[in-house]
Amino acid sequence: MPPEPMPPEPTPPEPTTPPGTGPEEFQVRLDGRPVPARAGQTVAAVLLAAGVRSWRTTRQAGRPRGLFCGIGVCFDCLVTVGGTPNVRACVTLAEPGDDIRTQQGTGWPLPVPASGTGAAAGTGAAGGTEKAAGTEKAAGTAAAGGTEVAR
């Protein structure tokens, strides 16, 4: 007999410790907004724990993408970190102060840094300031995504 489909829980459970406060906790930024992280977590885990399920759009159809293979094989979870586009969120550990940007298409040119620091350093994208963010869409697909596992 087919059981009734059950709706997902509406709200994520609260982490038992306030995020971003403990000794092994820190903040990163996603498109400028602060996101709590814990040392040892991957960028993908940090984003999913914050309820963000997608952080990239595809080159052709502009479709939202997020975590898929989770072990560095499929390159679906690409994201811009510290001005470097096409970083695999699933195998890259988050670091304190990381400037994470949702990525559109190839990731070039780089988005404008929100606070005048950070992005576009080092790798020298030509015309890197032309395409202002416009990345809200992908970040906005958040909804009730992952949950931090309570301790």
Partner 1 sequence: MTGVRRVDVAVIGGGPAGVAAAVTAAEAGAGVVLVDGAPRLGGQYYRRPPAGSEQLSRGRRRHRWRAFDGLEARLEELVAAGRLQVLPGTTVWSAEGGSPFLLRTRGGDRDPLAPVGLLRARTVVLATGAHDRQLPFPGWDLPGVMTGGAAQALVKGSGVLPGQAVVVAGTGPFLLAVAATLLRAGGRVVAVVEANTPHRLLTRPSELLPGLGRSGQLAGFAALLVRHRVRYLARHRVLRAVGGDAVGAVVVARVDGQGRVRSGTERELACDVLAVGQGFVPQTDLAVQLGCPVGTGTDGGPAVTVDDLQQAGVPGVFAAGESTGVGGAELALVEGLVAGAAAARRLGLAPAVDQDLLRRRQRRVAGLRRFADALHRTFPADPGWAQRVDDATLICRCEEVTAGRVREAVTGLGAADPRTVKLLTRAGMGWCQGRICAEAVDRLCPPPPDPAAGTARMLSAAKRPLAVPVGLGALAAMDGPGPDPGHPGAGPAGPSAGGSPGPRPLSTPDQPRRDQEGPTP
Within 28-87, which residues bind partner 1 (CB under 8 A)?
Answer: 38-42, 44-46, 48-49, 53-54, 57-76, 78, 81-82, 84-87
Instruction: For the CB of residue 96, give the shortest distance to partner 1 in the complex, in Å.
Output: 13
**What Rg do the C-alpha atoms of the chain give, in angstroms?**
16
Dist CA 36 CA 72 (whole Å):
23
Minimum Å distance from CB 29 to partner 1?
16
Min dist. Cβ of residue 151 to partner 1 (A)? 7
Determine the interface stretch with partner 1 among 26-34, 112-120, 125-133 (rule: CB under 8 A). 125-133
Instruction: Among 117, 124, 132, 136, indicate the residue that binds partner 1 (CB under 8 A).
Output: 124
* Contact yes or no for 28/98 (Cβ under 8 A): yes
Stretch that binds partner 1, among 28-36, 103-111, 112-120 (CB under 8 A): 103-111
φ, ψ for residue 47, nearest 5 deg: -70, -45
Residue of 20, 32, 109, 118 that binds partner 1 (CB under 8 A): 109
Q: What 3-state DSSP class applies to 65?
A: strand
Distance CA 104, CA 102 (A): 7
* 37 membership: H or E segment, kind and range: strand 33-38
